[in-house]
């Protein structure tokens, strides 16, 4: 049994997708065929969307679900013609919010995402460049600018986490891979020892680490279970003995890892 | 006049934030102080959240707005004690969806984001690594694996776009900076000429390009208006003469650029 789910927006469709997927994920036994229709900002485009939805309903024999954030009334009316099951995000919430806030909403197209010239856009690009330039210990002399410096063994999830924090929140995150030498000494390398308040550790289940490393370098010493158990054990000792807060990335998505780091390290987002 | 807006979730809070910010952005004249309270997964944590909300209301003299995706009934009851204006995302939409789909929702905590071992997690990390390894023409021999290869002049927005497509959709995106030599010849470099169906061009307003380049290398020839006008003119000629689809990144956010590329190039997302 296949159900079509359409995400329809006059902008990128990201709000409709995020909310819609979050709701759909609550229904585990149903297979959804997801289609995003962004930039539906004219009645003509809406008519084409309706035709696509009707075709999908006919093909699957099931009522389609529509998640819709279109604000223009005339375009909405066209979409209503699809006779699908409509989850109308804006009208359900905007009208009560208008009453509570005592102000009419702007009902403008594509308001919800930052434009290319805004402060938050500049902060985001600066943070992405910072994450790229200060990845994997490549450069350590700009750690003064960092909001946070992630530390951990190779393949514990540092790079994706730094990029996500930069992309989503404009946070400047560097990362430094701890080597066996650092760990055996139980002392931090010089470039980190005076930045202790910025350090955040990542650890990971050794079996999982070994599986990840094997994908990159199969059957190497680097990927061996023995080596992974050893490194993880040492790195956790290092975190403990230096009072570095840390968390495990084993069963966490990149979103979850970053949300937890931001909360635990009390990092300030540069935009929302 | 300051209003507090709280995003409350038993998971990362990303759904509550995305929807909430999208709704709040419709009210241009109100300053919101945004607070995300993630991982509210016990009644004790909910009580602490209520205390924080009440304190904020008292301090600002304004009713706080709550955007809430908590699914547990007992935790919800505690949050209801805050007497704020509550936008209840799940209960408003989940119950009608249950009727339509003929299935009870799972009401589980943190269902909406992929776990670390899922196929989509692996696809995401693979795509991020691909974007990093194949950034800025660093490597060209793995272009067969690319879903798309972005081309354009330096600083036209290629790198953030590749990373965003990887992070959000698992799309493998490489990028290659077109140089003056490529442009003057009006021919594509050898590494691109047999990959024409994968190419997508980015262009940008020359004044904007000059401003961006000046941030990196002030008063250089590279950043000069004359040079930027010249390069943009040439690169658009190159796109046209080789039938490469392209778009302008000038007034677009990274989300918008990527959504448009995906639609125009009909790229398949590896997850939603």
The overall average pLDDT reported for chain A is 89
Of A100, A250, A272, the CB nearest to B34: A272
A86 touches chain B (CB under 8 A): no
A254 touches chain B (CB under 8 A): yes
Q: Which residues of A touch B112 (CB under 8 A)?
A: 21-22, 25-26
In DSSP notation, B10-55 reads SS-SHHHHHHHHHHHTT-TT-EEEEEEE----SHHHHHHHHHHHHH
A268 touches chain B (CB under 8 A): no
**A68, A141: one domain:** no
User: Which residue is listed with tokens 């943070």?
Assistant: A127
Asked whether residue A108 carries a pLDDT value surpassing 60, the answer given is: no
Asked, for residue A88, whether it belongs to a domain, the answer is: yes
A48 touches chain B (CB under 8 A): no
Final residue belonging to a domain, choices A73, A89, A112? A112
B31 touches chain A (CB under 8 A): no
Least confident of B95-109, B125-139, B158-172, B199-213: B95-109
**B195, B171: one domain:** yes
Asked, for residue B236, whether it belongs to a domain, the answer is: yes
Q: pLDDT tens digits for B232-264?
A: 999 999 999 999 999 999 988 898 899 999 999
**Alpha-helix residue ranges (DSSP H) falling in B81-118:** 89-101
> Which one of A94-108, A122-136, B40-54 scores highest in mean pLDDT?
B40-54
Q: Do B97 and A65 touch (CB under 8 A)?
A: yes
Asked whether residue B112 carries a pLDDT value surpassing 70, the answer given is: no
**B51, B68: one domain:** yes
Taking residues A6-14, what's their average pLDDT? 89
Give A109's pLDDT tier (boundaries 50, 70, 90): very low
Distance (Å) from the alpha carbon of B105 to chain A's nearest alpha carbon: 5
Which of B35, B77, B81 lies closest to B56, judged by CA? B35
Give B109's pLDDT tier (boundaries 50, 70, 90): very low
Q: Which of residues 130-159 of A touch B (CB under 8 A)?
A: 132, 135, 159
Give B175's pLDDT tier (boundaries 50, 70, 90): very high
| Distance (Å, whole) CA B7 – CA B65 | 9
Taking residues B122-133, what's their average pLDDT? 91
Report helix, strand and coil shares of chain A as percent, to nearest 5: 50, 15, 35
Q: Do A132 and B3 touch (CB under 8 A)?
A: no
Asked, for residue B180, whether it belongs to a domain, the answer is: yes
Asked, for residue A272, whether it belongs to a domain, the answer is: no
**A105, A127: one domain:** no
**A60, A159: one domain:** no
Distance (Å) from the alpha carbon of B219 to chain A's nearest alpha carbon: 19
Nearest-10 crossing angle of helices B73-80, B43-60: 20
Q: Do B19 and A160 touch (CB under 8 A)?
A: no
The overall average pLDDT reported for chain B is 89
**A220, A129: one domain:** yes
**B80, B211: one domain:** no
A·B CB contacts under 8 A = 185
Asked whether residue A110 carries a pLDDT value surpassing 70, the answer given is: no
Q: What is the DSSP letter of A179?
A: P
**B174, B238: one domain:** yes
| Chain centre distance of CA A114 | 17
Per cent of chain A over pLDDT 70 is: 94
Asked, for residue B63, whether it belongs to a domain, the answer is: yes
pLDDT at A181: 80
**A216, A200: one domain:** yes
Asked whether residue B113 carries a pLDDT value surpassing 80, the answer given is: no
Q: Do B160 and A116 touch (CB under 8 A)?
A: no
pLDDT at A241: 92
A181 touches chain B (CB under 8 A): no
Strand ranges, E, within A187-272? 199-203, 246-248
Q: Do A22 and B69 touch (CB under 8 A)?
A: yes
Taking residues A193-204, what's their average pLDDT? 96
A48's CB contacts (< 8 A; 6+ apart) are none
Q: Which residues of B touch A107 (CB under 8 A)?
A: 26
| Distance (Å, whole) CA A159 – CA A134 | 10
Q: Which of A16, A23, A72 best tests the B interface by mutation, with the highest count of B CBs <10 A? A: A23
pLDDT at A118: 67
Q: Which residues of B touch A13 (CB under 8 A)?
A: 259
pLDDT at A107: 52
CB atoms near residue A46 (< 10 Å):
25
Asked, for residue A270, whether it belongs to a domain, the answer is: no
Asked whether residue A270 carries a pLDDT value surpassing 50, the answer given is: yes
Distance (Å) from the alpha carbon of B10 to chain A's nearest alpha carbon: 11
Asked, for residue B271, whether it belongs to a domain, the answer is: no
Q: pLDDT tens digits for A33-73?
A: 999 999 999 999 999 999 999 999 999 999 999 999 888 88
Final residue belonging to a domain, choices A96, A112, A128? A112
Q: Which of residues 51-70 of A touch B (CB under 8 A)?
A: 63, 65, 69
Give A31's pLDDT tier (boundaries 50, 70, 90): confident
Asked, for residue B270, whether it belongs to a domain, the answer is: no
Total of domains in chain B: 2
Q: Which of A1, A16, A25 best tests the B interface by mutation, with the highest count of B CBs <10 A? A: A25
Range of the domain at B239: 119-265
**B130, B238: one domain:** yes
Final residue belonging to a domain, choices B58, B78, B112? B112
**A123, A108: one domain:** no
Asked whether residue A171 carries a pLDDT value surpassing 90, the answer given is: yes
CB atoms near residue A187 (< 10 Å):
14
* 3-state SS, residue B234: helix
> Which one of A91-105, A182-196, B238-252 scores highest in mean pLDDT?
B238-252
Is B66 in contact with B82 (CB distance < 8 Å)?
yes
**A25, A56: one domain:** yes
Angle at B5 between CA A271 and CA B9, to 5 degrees: 90
Distance (Å) from the alpha carbon of B25 to chain A's nearest alpha carbon: 6
Distance (Å) from the alpha carbon of A270 to chain B's nearest alpha carbon: 12
| Distance (Å, whole) CA B250 – CA A74 | 29
pLDDT at B22: 75
Which of B221, B202, B200 lies closest to B210, judged by CA? B221
Per cent of chain B over pLDDT 70 is: 94
Q: Which CATH number goes with the domain that contains A254? A: 3.40.50
């Amino acid at each position: 049994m296949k159900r079509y789910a359409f995400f329809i927006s006059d902008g990128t469709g990201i709000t409709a997708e995020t909310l819609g997927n979050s709701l759909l994920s609550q229904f585990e036994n149903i297979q959804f065929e997801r289609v995003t229709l962004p930039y539906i900002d004219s009645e003509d485009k809406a008519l084409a969307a309706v035709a696509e939805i009707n075709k999908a309903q006919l093909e699957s024999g099931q009522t389609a679900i529509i998640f819709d954030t279109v604000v223009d009334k005339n375009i909405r009316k066209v979409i209503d013609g699809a006779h699908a099951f409509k989850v109308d995000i804006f009208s359900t919430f905007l009208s009560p919010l208008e009453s509570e806030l005592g102000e009419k909403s702007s009902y403008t197209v594509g308001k919800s995402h930052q434009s290319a010239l805004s402060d938050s856009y500049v902060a985001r690009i600066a943070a992405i460049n910072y994450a790229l330039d200060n990845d994997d210990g490549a450069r350590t002399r700009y750690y003064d600018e960092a909001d946070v410096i992630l530390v951990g063994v190779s393949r514990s999830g540092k790079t994706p986490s730094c990029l996500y924090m930069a992309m989503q929140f404009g946070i400047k995150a560097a990362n430094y891979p701890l080597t066996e030498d650092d760990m055996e000494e139980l002392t931090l390398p010089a470039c980190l020892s005076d930045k202790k308040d910025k350090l955040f550790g990542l650890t990971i289940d050794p079996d999982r680490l070994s599986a990840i490393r094997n994908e990159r370098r199969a059957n190497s010493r680097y990927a061996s279970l023995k080596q992974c158990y050893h490194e993880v054990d040492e790195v956790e000792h290092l975190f403990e003995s230096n009072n570095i807060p840390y968390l495990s990335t084993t069963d966490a998505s990149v979103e979850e890892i970053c949300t937890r780091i931001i909360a635990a390290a009390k990092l300030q987002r540069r935009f929302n």
